[in-house]
Amino acid sequence: MERVIQQTDYDALSCKLAAISVGYLPSSVLQRLSVDLARKYTQWHRSYLLTLKKFSRRAFGKVDKAMRSSFPVMNYGTFLRTVGIDAAILDFLDANEKVQVVNLGCGSDLRMLPLLQMFPHLTYVDIDYNDSVELKNNILRESEILRTSLDLPVEDATTSPFLIDQKRYKLVACDLNDITETTRLLETCTKRDIPTVVISECLLCYIHQNESQLLINTILAKFAHGLWISYDPIGGSQPNDRFGSIMQSNLKESRNLEMPTLMTYNSKEKYALRWSAAPNVTVNDMWDIFNSQIPESERKRLRSLQFLDELEELKVMQTHYILMKAQW
């Protein structure tokens, strides 16, 4: 199962690279990047892909092929997913002088790179399965632009579970289903009293109900003050809504992959209940975000990149993906 879930990270990487190649990302407006950082953003991601080829030609081939066959509706979705999460992080960083970010199930995500450069008092922890972070560690050290941006040596004596153990950035191997090990590792690489952003991006949907709830409750209790940002699909709660059942069937058939809670938390309201211990919880679907939180100037820019004639398909897809923000 671990290896199958790792394949979903390659999907996310190919989507991100496709959106970058056409110009959807970066969004200087919503990700608040300077001209220099916007240029680096593109360079970092391209270098990650090229360096991936050195370590896994098969993974590179899959990512490269998927990247080249991405449709506008997918690029819009990747844009909304990326800027929705980034805007939420940036709002919290603006409101708190010193912050630590914990990215659960980080995969190949590179958002630590611009954030660490933009916010000198930020610390960042990436956590994922051992195979995922070992590959990420190799790529970060092998690529000159990635290595120098993080000030990493080519090789390091640091051993697993801490593959990178710097003052401001840590890359940690952990099975997040193992709550005892997760708690122990968080004790060693985070501090309870520092305001904390927790990211779970398409993570909780792959964890069983009891384990995911225990993870949520444990982390809410661990940090004194924080913001949890979660991005996930929801199955849909209307009687004639077949989105979730079709998604489950496709994943089972094509990859033997399950989303155990897709139909359990199949609405925004049910999904929010998982963070009932937090005093302030908001959940928006991505179609809400597209229509209410993306400035018209950005929507105009997106329309100039590619002609999108699948507007109804975009609406159906994006009403079944949510962005949850819980503050405590």
Sign of the dihedral defined by the CA atoms of residues 25, 28, 32, 37, in that order: positive
113 annotated binding-site participant? no
Q: How many Cβ atoms from other residues are within 10 Å of residue 270's Cβ?
A: 16
Beta bridge mates, 230: 200, 324
The residues, ordered by sequence, that sit 6+ positions from 69 with a Cβ below 8 Å of its Cβ are none
d(CA 308, CA 302): 9
d(CA 302, CA 78): 12
d(CA 155, CA 73): 41
Check if the beta carbon of residue 267 is closer than 8 Å to that of residue 237. yes
205 is written with which tokens?
A: 């949907």
Beta bridge mates, 322: 232, 285
84 annotated binding-site participant? no
Q: What is the DSSP letter of 143?
A: S
Q: How many Cβ atoms from other residues are within 10 Å of residue 94's Cβ?
A: 11
The helix/strand/coil state of 181 is helix
23 annotated binding-site participant? no
d(CA 231, CA 286): 9
81 annotated binding-site participant? yes
Check if the beta carbon of residue 212 is closer than 8 Å to that of residue 242. no
156 annotated binding-site participant? no
* Rounded (10°) CA dihedral 95, 96, 100, 101: 0
Binding site residue list for S-adenosyl-L-methionine: 81, 105, 175-176, 201
Binding site residue list: 81, 105, 175-176, 201
